Amino acid sequence: MQALFASMFLAVSGSVGFAESCVVDIPLSDQATNEAMIGTSVAMDGEWAVVGAPLDTGPSWASGVLYVYQSIDEQWVLDARLEAEDGDIGDMLGVSVDILDDTIIAGAWFDNDDGSNSGAAYVFQRGQSGWNQIQKLVMPDAAPEDAFGRTVAIGEDFCAVGAPLDDNQGSSSGSVVVFDRDDSGPWTFAEKLLHPSGAAGDELGLSLVVDGNRILAGAPWSNEGRGEIHLWERPGSSWMHTWFMTNETIGSPDDYFGFSLALEGTRMVAGCYRDDSYGIDAGSVWVMEQVFDGWAYQKHPPPMPEAGSQFGVSVSLSGDRLLVGARYAVVDGENAGRAYLLGSENFDWSLLEPLDGEGLQAEAEFGWALALDEERAIIGAPYQPLIGYLQAWDGLLDGCDCSGDVDGDGLVGVNDMLAVLEAWGDCPAPCDADVDGDGSVGVDDVLFIISAWDLC
C-alpha cells in the first residue's frame, strides 16, 4: 500500500521552492471612528508594533490615535489605544510613528502650539501601568506651517523629527530636528540639521530613518522633484553631514527619489515611487551598499512592472529581506495595492513573494505604510473603508508552520504522505502524522494531505 500511494502522489507532486509565509490576523479597534485611516503609519520592534490612525477621534475630531499591538503566541493582540493628552481638532497624531524597546514616538504635524500646523511630536513609554505619555516635543524655533512631526525616528539615546515645510533655507526647504535623552532626564533639543545647500521646495525631512548613530533623511522634492537623500553621522558629540546622493543628473522631474527610506547596518534603500523608467509611475527602488570608499548603489525595477502602481512608495529593510509597497498595484482587477517581499544574494534582489490584502477596495492604498522585522511584517491600507486596514505576516524567513507539513520542510508533499502511511493506525498524541487530530492515522489524514498539497 505504501508503494502504491507513493507512486500515485509522485505523479501529482507540487512545485518546490521557498516556503511561503503565513497570514496572521491583526485586529482593528472597535473604538475607531469612521475615516480613522488606520495604517497610515506602521512601526515594529520585536514583539511590539505601533500603528497610526491620524484621522481617528481622540480628545477631538481627527486629533489622532495610536494603536499598540503585542505579538503573543504568534498572534497580534491590541494592547493599548493612545491619545495625546492635549490633542485638539485636526492635530493628526499618528501621521508618523516609530518604536524602540519600551518607547514610542509619534508625530502630530498639524498641532498648533506655535501657530497653525507648526507641529509636534509625542513620546510614550511603557511602564508597570502600561503605556503613558511622558513628553511633548516642539521645535525650538517653530513657526506656522512647519509641519514638524511629519516624520519621526527613534534611536538608542536620541530621536529625530522631520519638519519638511520649515523655511530656514527658503520656503519649505525643510529640516530635521534632533533631541537627546539621558538616563535620568527628559528629551532635550540637541541640534537642527539642514541641507548643506538647501533651497526652497526641497522638503528635507519628508522621509526619515535612523540606525545606530546615523540619520538618513530625504529631500524628494529637490531638483524639480528628482530627489536627494542625505546622511549624517555622530562620531562624537555633534552631527556631521557625511554623504548624499542626488537623482539630479540621472532622474526626471517628479520621480521623488528618497520619498521612502530604510537604513540598516551597511545597507540603505531609497524608494523612487514616481519613476517612469518601467512605465508611467511604475516606480523603482535604489539599494546602496557600504564599501571601503563610500557607498555603491544600484537601481532595481519593480518585480512585476505596472504603470501607475507606484512601487517604492514605502520600504522596510531587515537583514537580507526588503519589503516594498506599491500602493496602486492591481490585484483581482482593483488598484488596491500590494507589497513585494524581496531577498538579496550577491547584491541582486529577487522576488520571494507578493503580499496581498483581503477584500480590499480600489485605491485602498495597501502598502502605503509597512514594517518588516525579521520573521514578521505588517502592512497598512489607510483608505480602506470605513476605518482603514491592517494585515500581518509571520514566517518570512523559514515559512510558517502549517497543517499537513509533517516533516516541517515548508512543503506538503510526498514525504508527508509517506510519514502518514508509515504511522498508519492508532497514534496517541503527540503524533505529527495525525494531521486531523483524531488520535489515529488513516484515510482522513491521507485526504487532508491531498487537500493541502503544495507550498505552505
Using pLDDT thresholds of 50, 70 and 90, give the confidence band for residue 5. Answer: very low
Higher pLDDT, 290 or 411: 290
Tell me what pLDDT residue 73 has: 86
- What is the helix (H) or strand (E) element at residue 447, kind and residue range? helix 443-451
Q: Is the pLDDT of residue 4 over 80?
A: no
> What pLDDT does 17 receive?
39
Residues 55-85: tens digit of each pLDDT: 999 999 999 999 999 999 889 999 999 999 9
The whole-chain average pLDDT of the chain stands at 92
pLDDT > 70: what percent of the chain? Answer: 93
SS3 helix, strand, coil % of the chain, rounded to 5?
Answer: 5, 45, 50
DSSP string, 300-345: E--SS--TT--EEEEEEEETTEEEEEETT--BTTB---EEEEEEEE
Cα dihedral 252, 255, 260, 262 in deg (nearest 10): -30
Q: For residue 215, give the nearest of 157, 294, 168, 300 by alpha carbon.
A: 157
pLDDT in the model for residue 401: 61
Q: How far apart are CA 201 and CA 224, in angstroms?
A: 9
Q: Is 266 exposed, middle or buried (0-12, 13-18, 19+ CB in 10 A)?
A: exposed
pLDDT category of residue 456 using cuts at 50, 70 and 90 = low
pLDDT digits (tens, 9 = 90+) for 208-257: 999 999 999 999 999 999 999 999 999 988 999 999 999 988 899 999 99
- The three-class DSSP label of residue 92 is coil
pTM of the model as a whole: 0.86
CA atoms of 193 and 96, how far apart (whole Å) = 19
Q: Are 19 and 395 in contact (CB under 8 A)?
A: yes
pLDDT, tens only, 316-332: 999 999 999 999 999 99
Instruction: Answer yes or no: is pLDDT of 411 > 80.
Output: no
Sequence-separated (6 or more) residues with CB below 8 Å from residue 295: 243, 245, 268, 288, 289
What are the residue ranges of CATH 1.10.1330 in the chain? 2-13+404-455
Task: Examine the pLDDT at 10 and tell me if it is beyond 50.
Answer: no
More confident residue, 400 or 252: 252
Would you say residue 153 has pLDDT above 90? yes
The Cα-based distances of 358 to 336, 361, 396, 404 in angstroms read 10, 9, 18, 24
Higher pLDDT, 51 or 433: 51
- Provide the greatest CA pair distance for the chain: 81
Grid cell locating 372: 518588516
pLDDT of residue 13 exceeding 80, the answer is: no
Q: How far apart are CA 401 and CA 406, in angstroms?
A: 10
Q: What confidence score (pLDDT) does residue 428 get? A: 84
Taking 70 as the threshold, does the pLDDT of residue 356 lie above it? Answer: yes
Domain with CATH 2.130.10.130 in the chain: 23-394
R_g of the chain computed on alpha carbons: 24
Nearest Cα to 164, choosing from 207, 198, 224?
207
pLDDT of residue 214: 97
Q: Select from 345, 297, 344 the least CA-distant residue to 323.
A: 344
The residue among 175, 81, 82, 166 whose CA lies nearest residue 123 is: 82
* pLDDT reported for residue 36: 98
At how many degrees (to 10) do helices 2-10 and 414-422 cross?
170
Cα 10 to Cα 107: distance, rounded to the nearest angstrom: 56
Class of domain 23-394: mainly beta
Share of residues in the chain with pLDDT > 90 (%): 80
The contacts of residue 177 (CB under 8 Å, 6+ apart) are: 139, 140, 148, 160, 161, 162, 163, 189, 191, 192, 193
Name residue 191's beta-bridge partners.
Answer: 178
Q: Whole-angstrom Cα distance, residue 9 to residue 292?
A: 53
DSSP per residue, 269-306? EEEETT--BTBTT-BEEEEEEEETTEEEEEEE--SS--
Per DSSP, the three-state class of 168 is strand
Question: pLDDT category, 19, cuts 50, 70, 90?
Answer: low
- 399 vs 241 pLDDT, higher one: 241
pLDDT(8) > 60 = no
Q: Whole-angstrom Cα distance, residue 230 to residue 125? A: 30
User: How much is the average pLDDT of 170-199?
Assistant: 93
Q: Are strands 411-412 and 151-154 parallel, antiparallel or unpaired?
A: unpaired
Instruction: List strand residue ranges (DSSP E) for 188-235, in order.
Output: 188-193, 207-211, 214-219, 228-233
Q: How far apart are CA 352 and CA 318, in angstroms?
A: 14
pLDDT per position as a tens digit, 89-146: 999 999 999 999 999 999 999 999 999 999 999 999 999 999 999 999 999 999 999 9
Q: Could you tell me if 183 and 152 are in contact, meaning their C-beta atoms sit under 8 angstroms apart?
A: no
Q: Report pLDDT for 412.
A: 84
Q: What is the pLDDT of residue 397?
A: 80
Distances (CA, A) of 352 to 21, 301, 408: 10, 15, 19
Instruction: Give phi and psi for 190, each to the nearest 5.
Output: -115, -50
What is the architecture, at CATH level 2, of domain 2-13+404-455?
Orthogonal Bundle (1.10)
**Is a pLDDT exceeding 80 seen at residue 171?**
yes
Tell me what pLDDT residue 396 has.
Answer: 87
Higher pLDDT, 399 or 128: 128
| Cα 296 versus chain centre, distance | 24
> Of residues 97 and 8, which shows the higher confidence score?
97
Q: Are 253 and 224 in contact (CB under 8 A)?
A: yes
